[in-house]
Structure 1
Amino acid sequence: MSDHKRIDMQVPVFGAGIWHFGQYVDRYATDGYGPPVNTLEAINLAGKVEDLSVVDLTYPFDPVGLSVADVTGVLKMNGLRAVAVTPQIYTRRFSRGAFTNPDADARRAAIELVSRSAEAARELGCDYVKLWPGQDGWDYPFQADHRQLWKFSVDAVRELAETFPDLRFAIEYKPREPRNAMVFSSVARTLLAIEEMGVPNVGILLDFGHSLYGGESPADAARLAISRNRLFAIDVNDNYRGWDDDMVVGSMHPIETFEFFYALVEAGWQGVWQLDQFPFREDSVQAATDGIRVMKRIHRAVCALDRQALQAAQRSQDALAAQRIIQNALYGPYEG
């Protein structure tokens, strides 16, 4: 097949957040959907998923006191690698904020927790430390001085990046939840903050679902981050666009999911295709298996896409021609 027909036949590395295999809680089922699952048990579940190679681990590990050596042993036993560590700076302890908490001691505690996470990530050989400061923001007008929240956030991440220059930090932005408004709420705001930090080892983790319900085009957001060499990682899932539902990838927006992955492959981005799904009522191993199978199908479609024809349609901004081309790749030729 000619070059314009295939972009890259290399199969991506597939990963998942370890929380995919955990216990889920909401305000209606406060005792959880299913039994508690500790870190080692979750890793064992992840090891049952075909084609899953890496996991993002939350820190501190569960139970508290579980060593990096213990985690490493179970990862190896399951043929897995830790791609990232995510410090839990979004829990009840930081309900008034992590980096933006009005209490200076709480802000320092958040930085110290991330520092311990970074040390664990270094020992595990991770690609990055993920920062999701979900409690950093505000709920009401006039609640906070926006200039102060911005400065707290920028200064904290800059300090961490400078303290660990050998590690990469990926900020996962999100429009809202648990706060009604978050400091790192969009790709543009996060890139602006990173520019202000002035450090080379801070980038973005682009969550497809966050981008969707934040009113962005995930493909456009990815290209914007890639253009500044700041797309460090991705999480994929799907939703109804009104909330962060974290459904199985491709279940709601297959065309936009296809466009997102096309943007990554076309740009030569080489990161992990990572699941961030919340199977509240579904079997977690099956949900991960299904999500990876969807991504593999999308990858095959991206590689089969008539790139030359698509680029011609895009140059003329011919929407219908572009749709026919991508539908042929994704669903097969129309036969009448």
Structure 2
Amino acid sequence: MTKFKFSVGPWNVHSGVDSYGPATRNEIDFEEKIRKFAELGFSAIQFHDDDAVPNINDYTEEEIKEKARELKRMLDKYGLAAEFVAPRLWMDGRTADGGFMSTSQEDREYAMWRAYRSIDIAKELGCNMVVLWLAREGTLCAESKSPVWATKMLIHAINKMLEYDSDIRICIEPKPNEPIDRSICGTMGHVLAVSAATIDPKRVGGNLESAHAILAGLDPAHEIGFAMAMGKLMTVHLNDQNGIKYDQDKAFGVENLRSAFNQVKVLKENGYGENGEYVGLDVKAMRTTRDEDSYKHLENSLNIFKALEEKADRFDYEFQKKCVKNRDFEAIKGAHLFHFGYPTLMRRMYQNQGEELARMFRRIKEGGTAISLDMAAIDPSSEAAREDWKGILEKVLPYVDFFVPSAEELCFMLDRERYQEWSKRAEGRDITEVIRVRDVKPLGQTVLDMGAGGVLIKCGAPGIYYRTASGKRIEDLCRKLNLSMESWKDKEGFEPSFEPDAVVSGTGAGDAA
């Protein structure tokens, strides 16, 4: 069970339109998105001002408040809160040269009108935070405005917002560039400096987005830690990014898994969420995603975060302390066993016949490290289900010393026809209730034939089936782990589950059934 609460914005589910091409999916009704977000387990919704009140420029201040109250009733209907409201200043012609930093006083006044309306909407929705993503606050032509003047204009705008409402908190989301060429407030360090210069610094903080930190050449986990150390991290936008390119908003953890782990770890270690903060996602589906998978990137991000949260719970701090004391930092990286889980949830790991997963395992193996591989169930309607998993396993398993799938997962990947027969036989029950050891044995043999050192097939409540390779395969594993495993050559068996006298925690129950 995760200790965190999660938030998401309606823009995270979109039609696939981008700067270079038209829509690739159908638009989804706003309320249907809200309903689905609640179903997926989100606790709060992030809003732009014109998400909350479409065509906001057409309404009076009182009309805007009334429409916000209507939205609040919708949120209440689905048991959701509002996390923040953000003025979408970058989409109006009057903010082509920026909003708060525009060289036109009239346009600056319009930007403030939108900022005030965002505060009004936030109050009606029951939240006290306004996020400022300063999309066009900077320069396209470096000589077009003074950076000193522009910075002072930003501070002036924030001060006016703080004066407008005594409870509102202003959360700046930094980004070094795009769509602007040179941002005035591009990193969390800039955010803290601006905060300190306002009339009420305690009400001004930051929103760290993973991809934005990467675009600035920085480490997202360190940026999170820096902001937390200063008491300035108001929220996060977790996602992923392939290098210093354009803003990609990929699903969390699909590109930089170690960085994703450290982001989760620093949040968990330092009590993030204990004061009501949400773990916000800002991820978008790829244009190639089909209509039926419109929410899959959100599900994957949640699953990866929760899996890494469990990994953080098991982090070996004693081993870390020993390595730090001896200044043996290579030992922290040079573990004897590399355990990898859930490639079925990571598109990059199964694309191209699992080439990336095989490449990663090959490099790890060359370093002399043993490898264990855990799996996750594949949604039959998902993109992952359309992959050739038998071919992927043939490519990957020669590098795997311990393979730990469930019977259902493994059968789905190796023998789809048999999986369908099992499902039909189960008639809605758990598949493990209708299969026997004799059904699982052929799957174990196939795994060894593909090159794995050993397989443990989880069979739910009945227990676990195990089988190991023989001869040189186990001898190589003994050397890697510096263990004597001679007695484990060519072993096969089934260990039944034990029933505990009392249940203290359900953590890990999926694998301990």
Displacement of 1:171 in angstroms is: 0.4
User: Which of 262, 269, 272 is matched with 2:272 structurally?
Assistant: 269
**Alpha carbons of 1:139 and 1:17: their partners in 2 closer, same or farther (altered >3 Å)?**
same
Corresponding residue number in structure 1 for 2:307: 297
Q: What CA distance in whole angstroms lies between the structure 2 residues aligned with 1:138 and 1:58?
A: 23
- SS in structure 1 of the partner of residue 197 of structure 2: helix
1:43 lines up with 2:34 in the alignment: yes
Partner of 1:260: 263
Which structure has the highest helix share of the two?
Answer: 2
- Which residue in the other structure is 1:80 paired with? 80
SS at match of 2:48: strand
Superposed CA deviations along residues 235-282 of structure 1, whole A, max 9, x for unmatched, are: 011111222100110000010111111111112222211110011423
* Structure whose CA Rg is larger: 2
Q: Is the 8 A contact 2:171 2:207 kept in 1?
A: yes
Aligned partners of 1:48 and 1:10: how far apart in 2? 16
Taking the aligned partners of 2:228 and 2:339, their CA distance within structure 1 comes to: 24
Deviations 1:271-323 (A, max 9, x none): 21111001142333221111111111011111111123224434555432223
How many percent of aligned residue pairs carry the same amino acid?
Answer: 22
Number of residue pairs the alignment of both structures matches: 326
Q: Tell whether 2:184 aligns with 1:183.
A: yes
- Tell me the distance in 1 between the aligned counterparts of 2:159 and 2:30: 29
Distance in 1 (alpha carbons) for counterparts of 2:43 and 2:169: 20
1:1-336 alignment, distance < 5 Å: 11-29=3-21, 31-37=22-28, 39-49=30-40, 51-60=41-50, 61=52, 63-64=54-55, 67-93=67-93, 94-199=95-200, 200-242=202-244, 243-270=246-273, 271-281=277-287, 282=289, 283-314=293-324, 317-324=327-334, 336=477
- Relative to structure 1, the CA distance from residue 109 to residue 260 in structure 2 (aligned partners, 3 Å threshold; closer, same or farther) is same
SS in 1 for 2:144: coil
SS in 1 for 2:236: strand
The structural deviation recorded for 1:24 is 4.0
Q: Distance in 1 between matches of 2:197 and 2:3?
A: 36
Amino acid at match of 1:165: S
Change (3 A) 1:107 1:24: farther
- Taking structure 1 as the reference length, the TM-score comes to 0.89
Deviating more after overlay: 57-66 vs 153-162: 57-66
Equivalent-residue separation in structure 1 for 2:327 and 2:107 (angstroms): 51
Over the residues paired in the alignment, what is the CA RMSD in angstroms? Answer: 2.4
After superposition, the Cα gap between the structure-2 partners of 1:118 and 1:24, relative to the gap in structure 1 and judged at 3 Å, is farther
Q: Which stretches in structure 2 are left out of the alignment for 5+ residues?
A: 342-369, 373-400, 402-476, 478-513
Which residue does the alignment assign to 1:6? none
User: Match of 1:102, SS?
Assistant: coil
**Higher relative contact order, chain-length normalized (CA < 8 Å, sep 6+):** 1
- Give SS of 1:142's match: helix
1:154-178 deviation digits (Å, cap 9, x = unpaired): 1111221232221211100001111
Paired with 1:127 and 1:284, the residues of 2 have a C-alpha distance of: 30
Q: What does residue 433 of structure 2 align with?
A: none
Secondary structure in 2 matching 1:171: strand
1:185 shift after superposition = 0.4
Inter-CA distance 164–321: structure 2 relative to 1 (3 Å threshold): farther
Distance 1:326 1:291, change over 3 A: farther
Gaps of 5+ in 1: 1-8
Whether the 8 Å contact between 2:241 and 2:255 is mirrored in structure 1 is: yes
Task: Name the counterpart of 1:5.
Answer: none
Change (3 A) 1:142 1:14: same
